[in-house]
């Protein structure tokens, strides 16, 4: 009888020990191992991002400060419409005119009629700006060439002429332009995810 009770008691004791002590510790060890794997993966991604950041910093240090300032003027990291209008006004003042009838419209609403649904994945932002100047045809050509040579990235979308009845050589010209800026957050997230 002792031969049957002792092995049965040991078997029951081993089941109890397994469910009370071994299984919870084994489950905990598995969770810790999974967390360690995730931490190692995150650490590897961090090392990769740090490598990309240092190579980009090294590339940026190769540019002169003048070139970096020109690049920031070409594609700024914010809308900065006021500075754009001041630059356009400065160009217009060379031709003895000033900008008037200034308006700013959201590009998403002007191109499609309604705003796009959901977030934009574009790495740049775009605004439609319009203004008018009163000038001669020759000065308009020079004005447009100076706009083209300017550092800020713009696109002329529309141009309309209205003749001045009092002065036949003068026109009221309404220009619609698209101004662009770098969407730094989207550019960074899209570049890092590729």
Q: pLDDT digits over 155-170, tens only?
A: 889 899 888 788 878 8
The verdict on residue 9 lying in a domain is yes
Which of these three, 10, 40, 62, is where a domain ends?
62
The verdict on residue 136 lying in a domain is yes
Q: How is residue 117 written in tokens?
A: 């649904």
Answer whether 124's CB lies under 8 Å from 179's CB: no
Q: Are residues 118 and 162 in the same domain?
A: yes
Q: Are residues 90 and 58 in the same domain?
A: no
Q: Are residues 56 and 94 in the same domain?
A: no
Owner of token pair 């209205």: 162
The verdict on residue 68 lying in a domain is no
> Structural domain of residue 114, as residue ranges?
75-188
Q: Are residues 55 and 151 in the same domain?
A: no
- Kindly report, residue by residue over 52-64, the tens digit of the pLDDT: 999 988 888 888 8
Q: Are residues 179 and 91 in the same domain?
A: yes
Structural domain count of the chain: 2
- Strands (E) in 11-168, as ranges, are 100-106, 124-135, 154-163
Q: Are residues 129 and 87 in the same domain?
A: yes
- Kindly report, residue by residue over 69-127, the tens digit of the pLDDT: 777 766 676 666 778 888 888 888 888 888 888 888 765 444 444 444 545 566 777 77
């Amino acid at each position: 009888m002792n031969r049957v009770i002792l092995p049965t008691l040991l078997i029951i004791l081993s089941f109890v020990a397994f469910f009370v002590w071994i299984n919870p510790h084994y489950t905990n060890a598995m969770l810790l191992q999974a967390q360690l794997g995730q931490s190692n993966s995150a650490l590897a991604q961090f090392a990769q991002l740090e490598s990309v950041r240092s190579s980009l910093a090294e590339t940026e240090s190769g540019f002169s400060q003048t070139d970096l300032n020109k690049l920031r003027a070409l594609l700024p990291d914010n809308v900065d419409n006021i500075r754009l209008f001041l630059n356009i006004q400065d160009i217009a003042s060379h031709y003895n005119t000033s900008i008037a009838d200034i308006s700013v419209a959201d590009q998403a609403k002007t191109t499609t009629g309604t705003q796009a649904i959901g977030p934009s994945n574009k790495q740049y932002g775009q605004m439609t700006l319009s203004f008018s100047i009163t000038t001669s045809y020759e000065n308009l050509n020079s004005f447009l060439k100076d706009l083209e040579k300017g550092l800020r990235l713009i696109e002329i979308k529309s141009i309309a002429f209205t003749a001045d009845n009092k002065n036949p050589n003068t026109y009221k010209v309404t220009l619609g332009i698209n101004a662009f800026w770098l969407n730094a957050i989207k550019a960074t997230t899209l570049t890092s995810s590729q």
